[in-house]
Each structure stands twice: as C-alpha cells, then as structure tokens.
C-alpha cells in the first residue's frame, strides 16, 4: 500500500494506492492499481469508516472540495471517515479508455498496457473483470489495508447493486449498508427489467410533454434532422435519431426536464446546442465502461444480447418523441469515435454468459442492517423490483418517497441524514 496525506481546512485527505489482481480467482492473470481517498473531518480520526460506491458502472468517485462537493459529504463526516473508491477502470485506478486501447505502450498498472493492440476477444476477456464482484474484492483489499474490521457501505445506484453483491458474499465485513436508488432486481431476467424501464420512460416522456407541450414537435423535427445527418457533436460525430433519443435519461434526475427543454430552445446549428447536447448524452467515451458494461449490471447469471434494443416497445419505435433512458443501442459503438475501439468487444460481451451476482438465499442470511431509499418514480430502478429485493433482506429498512428522483443523494443532504438515522433505528418503526 502506498499512501500520501495532505490537508485542507477542516479536512484530512489520505490517498491510498494498492496493487490488486485483475482476476480475483486467478492471481496469475496480472494486476491493476486501485485508488481510494480517505476523507476525515475535523476531529474525526476515531470515527468508523464508510466506503462510498458511486453510480455507474464506470464512474470515478467524487472529488471532495471546500465548496460542498459532493453535497452529502459534510453530513457523512459527522458520523464517519469516508473512503472514496475509484472503482477499477476509472479515475486514478488503472484506466480503461479508448486511449489505452489505441496505445502501443503501457499506461498505468501492469495489465492496462496489454489492452494496447489487443484483439476484440482479449479486450472482452479483460473487461469481464470490471463488474461488481471484482469491485467488492477491491473494497476488501482497501478495508484490510486500512486495518478495518467492519465498515459501512453507501451505495448510490450501481453502487447499490455492488452493495447487494457485498451483502451476498461478504456480509461479515459490513457493519451496515445504506443504499440510495440501488436495490436492483435479484434473479430477474434482464429483459424483464428493461421492459419495465421502457414503460417508465414512456410515462416520463408523456409527463415531460405535459410540462412543455411545444417540445414534442421540436423533438420530432430534431430527430428528422438527426436521421438526415444534420446534427453533430463538437468532435464532429454525427448523432443518430436513436442516440438523440437518449437525452431522455435526464428525466430520471431532478432538474433534468428543464435541462432538456433548455437544450431544445437553442438553434440546432449553434455551437451552444452541439456542446449542450454532448453534455446531455449518457453514453460517451469519457467513461467507456459505462457503455460497454452497462447491460451487464443487470445480468445476474445470463447473457444480455443487447436487451435494451431487443425489448424496445413498438410504440417507442414508431414514435420518435418518446425518449429513452439508460437504453443502449448496438450502433452506438459505431457512432461514437471514442467508443468505436470497443465495438467488437461489446458484441462479444453481449453474448457473454455472466456469472451470478445476487444470491437470494445468502441475502436472506445477511445479518446486516440496511437502510434504503426507494424512489417511487425512479426510471432506472423499478419500484416493484426494489421492493422484491428489499423483502429478501432480513433487516432492510426502506424509505419509499416521491419527493426525490434517482439523484436524491446528490440533490439534498437531507436524504443521507434520513438514511443514517434510519440505519441507527432513530426513526425506525
């Protein structure tokens, strides 16, 4: 373990870098670097640890600052020292990126250089080691390196999915778990999940047009322009109508409807429109794991076979004004310059038979208190499936609310405050 400690007013930051096996079951497969940052508040050196698992997959942990970023951190530091893990492949952990794939030299960590010039099959095999199971293995390495017997985990969205795997496989390492918008379906077919989220996006789209009725014609016009090759991003990539549709993923976050509306107000020929559109698209090259492995997050022992594309309802296919959420389409990997190096590997991963992540019988035996927010209108994680999973856990204290969207943790520090109280039974009934 390599560490470095520095201080900001009111905060102590300790950077931790570890070597971790690429494959937790085969140490001979090589190693990668895993980075974590321990954030300690004023006088908080003796507080227990909370490890934050962010949404994604494929996004690094937030960077703490004195300006209140992330907004929930100040509340967390009242009770905990917070471990910000850059999940493997992101941030300062050994990166996965188009630059690595195209590079001819080593980048960071022993294995990443092996991606340079790798065949699609080699890329796909490498990327199978970046799911929740290996992230939990990395968590355990960090926990042991810090000398912590048990800690609490805070899982947002995909981080909640990862937390469910943690509860399935290493409950003895957990003093508690807080899950925000991340109670994923357990042992449900991936097609069932995407079919539900498509219907939820139909409902969200119709609700959007009740707010902004004139925008329906604007979306129809822009979709036609996309099909004609008239809409492009700042890097020159043209945007297909199917890709343009994915701006709807912002309808799952507070403020998202307004962001879409303000984009549609702009002249499509302007630089402002091009840049703002790029900022609203969910699947982009900055964090390719998010695109390449997104469907695998729901693959609980199955292959996905481009599930989101296959389950798209005819009603959506026939109406370009019905927006999409986190619904990948296969052609994305041929449209986006930075994702193109992963196109063949993505096809192979779509056919990959993924290992099981969630074990209902083990979840039922996990003697760990869990506090979970379930957002009633969550377009990413269906309410009914979250409740099914909550029922598997012996001590899951759920808070069902329509006050917040999927980004409730980031939107309001009161969300974490409520869940910490719930975890400690101060508001438990």
pLDDT tens digit string along 353-371? 999 999 999 999 999 999 9
**Would you mind telling me the total number of residues written for the chain in this entry?**
429
Alpha-carbon dihedral sign for residues 284, 206, 181, 311: negative
CA distance linking residue 380 with residue 294, whole number of Å: 12
CA distance linking residue 98 with residue 81, whole number of Å: 34
Q: Can you give the pLDDT at residue 101?
A: 54
Q: Can you give the pLDDT at residue 427?
A: 46
Q: Can you give the pLDDT at residue 136?
A: 98
Q: Where in the chain is the domain with CATH 3.40.50.1820?
A: 2-187+358-423
Q: Can you give the pLDDT at residue 308?
A: 97
pLDDT tens readout for residues 152-208: 999 999 999 999 999 999 999 999 999 999 999 988 999 999 999 999 999 999 999
**Over 90: is that where the pLDDT of 94 sits?**
yes
Rounded mean pLDDT, 267-292: 95
**Over 70: is that where the pLDDT of 110 sits?**
no
Question: Over the chain, what is the mean pLDDT?
Answer: 93
Q: Can you give the pLDDT at residue 99?
A: 54
Q: Can you give the pLDDT at residue 67?
A: 81
Q: Can you give the pLDDT at residue 176?
A: 98
Does 3.40.1030.10 match the CATH number of domain 2-187+358-423? no
**Residue pointed to by tokens 């297909």:** 240
CA distance linking residue 174 with residue 35, whole number of Å: 20
The reply to whether omega before 305 is within 30° of 0 (cis) is no
What predicted TM-score, i.e. pTM, was given to this entire model? 0.93
Q: Quick one: angle between helices 120-127 and 343-350, nearest 10?
A: 60
**Over 80: is that where the pLDDT of 112 sits?**
no
Residues with Cβ within 8 Å of residue 320, at least 6 apart in sequence = 219, 220, 223, 224, 241, 245
Q: Can you give the pLDDT at residue 340?
A: 93
Percent of the chain scored above 90 by pLDDT? Answer: 90
CB 146 within 8 A of CB 49: yes
Beta bridge partners, 374, equal: 400
């Amino acid at each position: 373990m390599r560490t470095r400690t520095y201080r900001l007013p009111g905060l102590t930051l300790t950077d931790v870098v570890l070597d971790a096996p690429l494959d937790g079951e085969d140490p001979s497969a090589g190693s990668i670097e895993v980075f974590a940052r321990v954030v300690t508040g004023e006088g908080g050196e003796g507080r227990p640890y909370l490890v934050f698992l962010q949404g994604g997959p494929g996004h690094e942990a937030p960077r703490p600052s004195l300006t209140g970023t992330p907004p929930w951190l100040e509340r967390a530091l009242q009770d905990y020292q917070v471990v910000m893990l850059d999940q493997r492949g992101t941030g300062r952990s050994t990166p996965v990126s188009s630059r690595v794939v195209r590079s001819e030299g080593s980048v960071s960590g022993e294995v990443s250089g092996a991606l340079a010039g790798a065949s699609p099959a080699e890329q796909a095999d490498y990327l199978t080691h970046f799911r929740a199971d290996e992230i939990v293995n990395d968590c355990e390495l960090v926990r042991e390196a810090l000398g912590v017997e048990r800690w609490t985990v805070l899982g947002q969205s995909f981080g909640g999915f990862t937390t469910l795997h943690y509860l399935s496989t290493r409950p003895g390492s957990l003093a508690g778990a807080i899950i925000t918008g991340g109670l994923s379906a357990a042992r449900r077919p991936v097609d069932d999940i995407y079919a539900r989220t498509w219907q939820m996006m139909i409902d969200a789209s119709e609700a959007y047009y009740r707010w902004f009725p004139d925008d329906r014609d604007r979306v129809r016009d822009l979709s036609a322009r996309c099909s004609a090759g008239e809409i492009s991003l700042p890097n020159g990539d043209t945007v297909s109508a199917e890709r343009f549709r994915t701006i709807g993923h912002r309808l799952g976050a507070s403020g998202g409807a307004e962001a879409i509306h303000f984009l549609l107000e702009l002249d499509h020929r302007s630089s402002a429109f091009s840049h703002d559109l790029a900022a609203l698209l969910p699947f982009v090259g900055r964090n390719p794991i998010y695109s390449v492995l997104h469907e695998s997050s729901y693959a609980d022992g199955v292959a996905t076979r481009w599930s989101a594309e296959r389950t798209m309802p005819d009603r959506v296919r026939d109406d370009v004004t019905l927006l999409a959420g986190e619904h990948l389409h296969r052609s994305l990997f041929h449209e986006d310059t930075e994702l193109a190096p992963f196109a063949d590997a993505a096809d192979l991963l779509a056919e990959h038979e993924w290992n099981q992540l969630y074990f209902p019988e083990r979840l039922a035996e996990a003697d760990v208190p869990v506090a979970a927010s379930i957002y009633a209108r969550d377009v990413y994680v269906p309410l009914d499936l979250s409740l099914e999973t909550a029922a598997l856990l012996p001590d899951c204290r759920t808070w069902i609310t329509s006050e917040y969207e999927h980004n409730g943790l980031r939107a309001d520090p009161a969300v974490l405050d409520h869940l910490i109280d719930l975890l400690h039974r101060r508001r438990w009934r």
